[in-house]
Structure 1
Amino acid sequence: MSALPQGLTEFIAHAGWADAAIAPLPGDASFRRYFRLTRAGETAMLMHAPPPHEDPAPFLHVAHWLNGHGMRGPAILAQDSAQGWVLTEDFGNDRMRDWLDDHPADELAAYTAAVDAMADLHRLPPGPFAPYDLAVYQREAALLTEWYCPAQGLEVDAASYADAWDEVLAPLLARQQPGVTVLRDYHAENIMLLGGKPDAPQGLIDFQDALVGHPAYDLVSLLQDARRDVSEALEAAMLAHYCKAAAIEDDAFLADYARLGAQRNAKIVGIFTRLDRRDGKPKYLAMIPRVWAALERDLAHPALAPVARWFDANIPESLRAANGAFAA
């Protein structure tokens, strides 16, 4: 076991878990660390999100809002935001991703439940979070030109890239008013199946970056998953299921789904490149072809024409044919 963070034993003692066994858990792409505490058949999750790299306050803010509105974020058992400590309810080990790896026949049931949870969230008034506005969309989309293009040795026209996104996103902005709570990383690795079955209630995690924006965004996160293959047939079926649940009948929603799909996938390609080049985490490069393939599908929608023209002019066909992969 690697060394425990300073202050851990003092925090759990103050929280009433001094006698618990401590087991570190695999981390994610951030500076956060996670531990499972166990005592007398009872468990809890300990998150360390240490300043200055992390701040648990946004996680706590969103968790309290979700739980106060009937959604299932983990209950907060103890906290010390200044030192980066949060003790929460343990949702167990049944991540949707892991469950489907072992039970692939349950895929339709699990995704239907996940889409239903999104529909429930979107029926609520938007939370007290910052807006997912054009400046945020642009900052995220720019990660592709800031990180991916230089890493591939490409000199591109970043100004016209931003102009293309302005044109593509403008029609969407009015349609995301008053908006819904957008968790921003809603996918099979961040959904817990609390009842140990595919149609169990959805336990939500990794939602600290929530904003108020468009209802299609989290559907893109779920159905164009960077970490797991989702067939185009399942994607189409779940989009139709959501539209029925939300009483959406116009084509504008599907156009906005493609807009946000392209924006999110461009962002992820940039983030995964940054994780390799800046943070020394090369494992994310292997996911870029999956993300790039989804990006190409989104770019084929007529609503993306200005951005698609930019890609045609700036990204070589040979690289696109390789689904954006880096040379071995």
Structure 2
Amino acid sequence: MIPPSHAPRFLALNGWEGARILPLAGDASFRRYFRVVKDGARAVLMDAPPEHEDVGPFMRIAGHLIERGFAPPCILAADVAGGLLLLEDFGDDRVGPLLQREPGRERDIYEAAIDILADLHREPAPRDLDPYGEEAMTREVGLLTEWYAPAVGVAPDEGAWLEAWRSVWGGILETVNRRPVLVLRDYHADNLMVLDDPRRLGLLDFQDALAGHPAYDLVSLLQDARRDVSEELEEAMIARYLDKAKVEDAARFRADYEILGAQRNSKILGIFTRLWRRDGKAHYTAFQPRVWSYLERNLAHPALAPVRGWFDAHIGPDKRAAAWQTDAAA
């Protein structure tokens, strides 16, 4: 967490000469974040190395959200070529850590997060966004067979895997083609900030947004890989969303929710295994049992029978939630 060499000059050009640059966070990508402090003022420096990242999408989505009354961090300064953004500092109250300290606030915060999604989905996605359709979803579920399966000693039938998915997501693709919404894609507790207004949450990590199905971010929030979300809370928040968003066909929406949950959780199993095997970040394997618990909940829905059949044939109970974690931790 050493700031890039061009950061002090960038800060000096934008009124922050001599500011302290303190490590704040890194994530599963190449992006890193630093807190900038000068004379009692604070901001956040995003370092997105341009050889790996592009700050343009973050800037475009932030502008779209601000125009519609949501709360991403304001962009105070930008060096697009150098991969630096100076952002509004929302403080330290990320929802995940805050709820560890104050669990009694869970329901109120989740209700606020649900209401944000319902409001966000009242209008179609921006026209210039790529679709979160069959190509993207196929690529993502492929992460499970590419990374997770070999890690547990399975050589899967990839053709049958993809065919199982194609047989279940037709209704989702119809929604994406007909009226997509803005899907932030990592809408969960660690990317939400509690602000002064308890009904208003700060939004982070939305640069990979696509035009997709409204159930996706709902799944991301309620089947959170990094924290336990009880089935009771999940059901209550799904019901709240259905009411607030005025969903007409609740049964179809619920089927789509479970399909997208299985798709997302399969992807996450692959990504976390890749972070361990390729990038040496073994701590991500600690989340796998929780992700499996969500995935098995998804697979119980009748709409996922073909995908459940594939799992039963290829990745049995002894290959789930992972005996191989002990190897990862070693």
Matching residue of 1:278: 278
Match of 1:91 in 2: 90
Residue of structure 1 equivalent to 2:5: 6
Task: Tell me which residue corresponds to 1:145.
Answer: 145
What pairs up with 1:74-85 in 2 under 5 angstroms? Answer: 74-85=73-84
> 2:191 maps to which residue?
190
Alpha-carbon contact 1:292-1:324 (below 8 Å) kept: no
Cα shift at 1:257? 0.1
User: Structure 1 residues 107, 3: CA separation in 2 closer, same or farther (over 3 Å shift)?
Assistant: closer
Distance 1:271 1:325 in 2: 18
Alignment of 1:38-187 (within 5 A): 38-127=37-126, 128-176=128-176, 177-187=178-188
User: Which amino acid is the alignment partner of residue 77 of structure 1?
Assistant: L
- Counterpart CA distance in 2 for 1:9 and 1:21 is 9
Q: Which moved more, 1:85-94 or 1:171-180?
A: 171-180
The code of the aligned residue for 2:324 comes to: F
Say which SS state the counterpart of residue 78 (structure 2) adopts: strand
Secondary structure of residue in 2 paired with 1:209: coil
What's the offset of the Cα at 1:249? 4.0
2: CA distance, partners of 1:149 / 1:44:
42
Kindly state the Cα deviation for residue 325 of structure 1 after the two structures are TM-superposed: 4.7
Kept after mapping to 1: 8 A contact 2:22/2:36? yes
Q: CA contact under 8 A between 1:96 and 1:189: conserved in structure 2?
A: yes
Aligned equivalents of 1:138, 1:217: Cα separation in 2: 15
* Percent of aligned pairs with the same amino acid: 54
Give the Cα separation in 2 of the matches to 1:231 and 1:326. Answer: 26
1:54 and 1:257 map into 2 onto residues whose CA distance is: 30
CA RMSD in angstroms, aligned pairs only: 1.2
Q: How is 1:203-242 mapped onto 2 (pairs within 5 angstroms)?
A: 203-242=202-241
Unaligned runs of 5+ in 1: none
Number of aligned pairs? Answer: 323
Cα separation, 1, equivalents of 2:248 and 2:123 = 20
Q: Per-residue CA shift, 1:251-271, capped at 9, x if unaligned? A: 000000000000000000000
CA offset digits 1:135-169 (Å, max 9, x no partner): 10110011000000011111110111001111111
Is this contact kept in 1: 2:119–2:245, CA < 8 A?
no
Inter-partner Cα distance in structure 2 for 1:247 and 1:84: 40
Unmatched segments (≥5 aa) in structure 2: none
CA distance in 2, matches of 1:325, 1:224: 22
Paired letter, 1:326? W
| Alpha-carbon distance, 1:240 to partner | 0.1
Q: Give the aligned partner of residue 254 of structure 2.
A: 254
Q: Is the 8 A contact 1:288 1:325 kept in 2?
A: no
1:40 Cα offset (Å): 2.0
Q: Give the alignment's TM-score, normalised by structure 2.
A: 0.95
For 2:87 and 2:256, how far apart are their aligned partners in 1? 36
